Amino acid sequence: MARKIMVTGACSQLGRVVEVLLKAQADVEVVALRRSELDILDSAAVMSLVEDLKPATIINCAGFNDVAGAEIRLANKLPVNTRGVFNLAQAAAKYKVYFCTFSSKFVFNGKKSVPYVEDDELWPLNQYGSSKQGGEELVTDSLENHLIVRSDLLYGGGRDLVSRILDELRAGNQFKVSDDIFISPTYIGDLAAAMVALALKWAAGVYHYTNDAGGGVSCYEFAQAVAEGSGFDSSLLQAVPVSETNFGAPLLLPERAILNIDKFGGLFPPLVRPWREALEDYLRQ
């Protein structure tokens, strides 16, 4: 019998990629739900649908991911990261379903001198990070059979940093990029593949996944690689402190919240690849 996997947030770029990857698997039945088909903030609807569908697994790809916007849109956006995740986790617990969801490096404060491992203390600096911490805690308090995958700056869909850089450079505009915030830039297709691999293995607990950036690269270095890989003039990029970019005060960002990916790499070494290689592949597309 095929394993039935329910994907929520299937209208998101991440959800679409997860859906495609799952449908390529043998013995898997995918039920991909857009927000119009299931609002995860509606607890009764979630409980009823999980009861009716009887999935073996739920992979939640729904979420509000605008870090800066989260500071001013608490009431109408962030609940999807907390109450929505809780509703899914409660239904999963009641009907004994394996529940998988995504989280973020923003649950950490970036004060650690080496990359963060999965069980390090959570200490978010901003509202977005707090919502992700809240979602994680609601999941772990609701059921044991769960998977949480934390990641870093994603690109490959929507209005991400890569698309913003390319738009500005294409127009011949100067673009300010922080040189004091360090990241592990991650292609969304690679993150989706990591989640699918873990979910198919029934992995439990918390895992970190990013493209391999060692101790991290600055946003400015990443932007330079985007420009050079696309044939644009990298001299249009301006290295500035984060306070001089659109992500300045009052938003607090962790300076170097790099995620240790050894735990994931021990299971799936071929799925870990250098950030430059992933970026080059994406730009070639």
Q: How far apart are CA 6 and CA 53, in angstroms?
A: 8
- Residue from 207, 206, 211 nearest 183 by CA: 211
Distance CA 195, CA 204 (A): 11
Residue 83 inside a domain? The answer is yes
CA torsion 256→177→127→264, rounded to 10°?
-40
Q: How many domains does the chain have?
A: 1
Task: Answer whether residue 10 is part of any domain.
Answer: yes
List the chain pLDDT tens, one digit each, 285 residues.
789 999 999 989 999 999 999 999 999 999 999 989 999 999 999 999 999 999 999 999 998 777 877 777 655 567 889 999 999 999 999 999 999 999 999 999 999 989 999 999 999 999 999 999 999 999 999 999 999 999 999 999 778 899 999 999 999 999 999 999 999 999 999 999 999 999 999 999 999 999 999 999 999 999 999 999 999 989 999 999 888 776 544 688 999 999 999 999 999 999 999 999 999 999 998
pTM score > 0.85 for this model? yes
- 206 domain-assigned: yes
> How far is C-alpha 120 from the geometric centre of its chain's CA atoms?
18
- 146-151/205-208 β-pairing: parallel
CATH of the domain at 82: 3.40.50.720
CB atoms within 10 A of CB 167: 12
* Residue 38 falls inside a structural domain: yes
Report yes or no: 166 and 226 within 8 Å, Cβ to Cβ: yes
DSSP output for 41-64: T-HHHHHHHHHHH--SEEEE----
Is 202 domain-assigned? yes
Is 128 catalytic? The answer is yes
Whole domain around residue 138: which residue ranges?
Answer: 3-156+185-210
Cis peptide before 250, with omega less than 30 degrees from 0? Answer: yes
Residue 133 within any structural domain of the chain: yes
For residue 105, being part of any structural domain is answered with: yes
131 within some domain: yes
Catalytic pick among 128, 187, 220, 282: 128
